A and B are shown apart, each in its own frame.
Chain A
Amino acid sequence: MTFNWRQADAVGIATAVYQGEITASAIARDCLAQIDTRNPSLNCFTAVTADTAIAKAERVDQAISRGEFPGVLAGVPFAVKNLFDVAGLTTLAGSKINAENPPANHDATAVTRLKQAGAVLVGALNMDEYAYGFVTVNSHYGATPNPHDPTRVSGGSSGGSAASVATGLVPLTLGSDTNGSIRVPAALCGIFGLKPTYGRLSRAGAILFSSSLDHIGPFARSIRDIATAFDILQGSDERDPVCTQRPPEPCLPQLEKGIEGLRIAVAGEYFTQGATPEALDAVAKVAQALNVTATVRIPEAHRARAAAYMITATEGANLHFANLRSRPQDFDPATRDRFLAGALIPASWYIQAQRFRQWYRQRVQELFQTVDIILAPTTPCVAPRIDQDTMVIGGEEILVRPNLGLFTQPLSFIGLPVLSVPVKSSNSLPLGVQIIAAPDHEAMILRVAAVLEGKEL
């Protein structure tokens, strides 16, 4: 094998396949062999779709041999968080309860679109039960350890999606983000993770957690891969009631536009408090690389986080109410008590949180009259140890797990598009910085990220 697909990004792989440097079948076989060898210790995959992967890869090779265009992701192995429907597989959503369900009849819309672009699905990935967590420590399917230090968490809830890309098992995955579940694991594993605008990508065929806040998005090791996947996934979908009607706007052709004229600022106040010095250093590095000195204040971010928490707890508990009533013992102890408590929240608290969401959205819209891009830390710290319950920040001892979403929750709360870009920290564990824009400005975010990608961060 002359072309080393394991070192390449998705676009590089697809180009090599199309140009005949390597076959999709050879990649699929090597990818599956690698998963077979390494997954027992990495624990990213909960299911491997070997037969359908080989069959799909052979169809890609046959299309190329007939002179047909095989798609922009031809032969690219990919995998999805196990809350996406995959025809023939039972959709677990990280739970033991859903393991009793019959296999899905259809692929989720996002899975279908990637397959139509020539990508080869190789399996489903570990997560926190029902996406309620930031660590991917799952009592049913085990923890997914951090690729940079196996004693630490990979982040969550899309931990398998981030770790499998960071370890090189696959170049491209999908995850979901309600309060930070794409951005947190992307940061802690040192890769790119995009949470698009709320409603921008179809969630049809993905098991929801809190519909008001649920998003799906891609993980990858290069910006052109994120842009390519995002472009493929765009488009309306009548199967998802919140999916946008706006026509797709391809981002890939805009990547090289640069950032001249963009007004970029660092989020101050709330987004500087409760963070370790290294998390703030990561933001400073990115700001310096972009020559940014301005700061901006996002008002009432702490209340936004609180309201996001209320909505998540209420909607999540409602979704699982029947099982909480009949079989609470089958839930992961890490989620059970939180779901049960969420069922007891007074309705007026939930409605107040939804109304606050409108108020906060208006204030942040006003903010985007004066700034185009905002920078903020993704997590307050590097990946904590798997057994770590608390950490000390600014002399105060706080719970680790809920605080991993400190800086992500106030942004997904109003559906802003955010990309977490990886930054190396001094102690070799990665961190992430969020690049944030107004709704539907993913292209602008990716232009900024493309500039950063060329620099050593």
Chain B
Amino acid sequence: MNQESFDFGEYVDRMAELIDLPIDSEYRPGVVDNITRIAAIAQLVNEFPLPDNIEAAPVFEP
């Protein structure tokens, strides 16, 4: 994903429609801002290569 060119407004509208989550026009700019920020944060995790044998723990025990 190219963070610069990706249309986060379009993503919010389509994804919200898919999961049936109405987003009032008053809140939409804030939601778009937040998902844009989340995508940048997610990039840090998604770009990091993990071995296949690393699994998520359903109940986490430190």
Q: Select one of B31, B34, B44 contacting A303, CB under 8 A.
A: B44
Instruction: State the majority secondary structure of interface residues on A.
Output: helix
> A69 interface residue, CB < 8 Å from B?
no
Q: Select one of A212, A306, A337, A440 contacting B27, CB under 8 A.
A: A337
Q: Select one of B22, B45, B59, B62 contacting A349, CB under 8 A.
A: B45
> A181 interface residue, CB < 8 Å from B?
no
Minimum CB–CB distance for B49 against chain A, Å: 10
Minimum CB–CB distance for B43 against chain A, Å: 8
Tell me whether A355 and B56 are in contact in the complex, defined as CB-CB below 8 angstroms, given that A309-B38, A310-B41, A313-B38 are known contacts.
yes
Interface string of B33-45 (1 = CB under 8 A from A): 1110010011011
**Contact A349–B46 (Cβ < 8 Å):** yes
**Contact B62–A303 (Cβ < 8 Å):** no
Size band of the interface chain B makes with A: 20 to 34
**Contact A340–B23 (Cβ < 8 Å):** yes
Stretch of A42-50, A121-129, A356-364 that contacts chain B:
A356-364
Minimum CB–CB distance for B26 against chain A, Å: 9
**Contact B50–A352 (Cβ < 8 Å):** yes
**Contact A337–B34 (Cβ < 8 Å):** yes
> A5 interface residue, CB < 8 Å from B?
no
Tell me whether A415 and B34 are in contact in the complex, defined as CB-CB below 8 angstroms, given that A325-B20, A340-B27 are known contacts.
no
**Contact B46–A352 (Cβ < 8 Å):** yes
Minimum CB–CB distance for B25 against chain A, Å: 12
Tell me whether A198 and B62 are in contact in the complex, defined as CB-CB below 8 angstroms, given that A344-B11, A358-B57 are known contacts.
yes
**Contact A310–B12 (Cβ < 8 Å):** no
Taking CB atoms, residues of chain A closer than 8 Å to B41 are 306, 309-310
Taking CB atoms, residues of chain B closer than 8 Å to A414 are 62
Taking CB atoms, residues of chain A closer than 8 Å to B57 are 354, 357-358
**Contact A345–B27 (Cβ < 8 Å):** no
**Contact B27–A336 (Cβ < 8 Å):** yes
Interface string of A303-333 (1 = CB under 8 A from B): 1001101100100000001001100110000
> A297 interface residue, CB < 8 Å from B?
no
Interface string of A27-61 (1 = CB under 8 A from B): 00000000000000000000000000000000000
A-B contact pairs, 15 of them (CB 8 A): A198-B60, A198-B62, A303-B44, A307-B45, A309-B38, A310-B38, A325-B21, A337-B33, A340-B21, A344-B31, A345-B35, A355-B56, A358-B54, A358-B55, A359-B54
> What is A's interface to B at a CB cutoff of 8 Å?
197-199, 212, 241-242, 300, 302-303, 306-307, 309-310, 313, 321, 324-325, 328-329, 336-338, 340-345, 349, 351-359, 361, 414-416, 439-440
> What is B's interface to A at a CB cutoff of 8 Å?
11-12, 15-16, 19-24, 27, 30-31, 33-35, 38, 41-42, 44-46, 48, 50-51, 54-57, 59-62
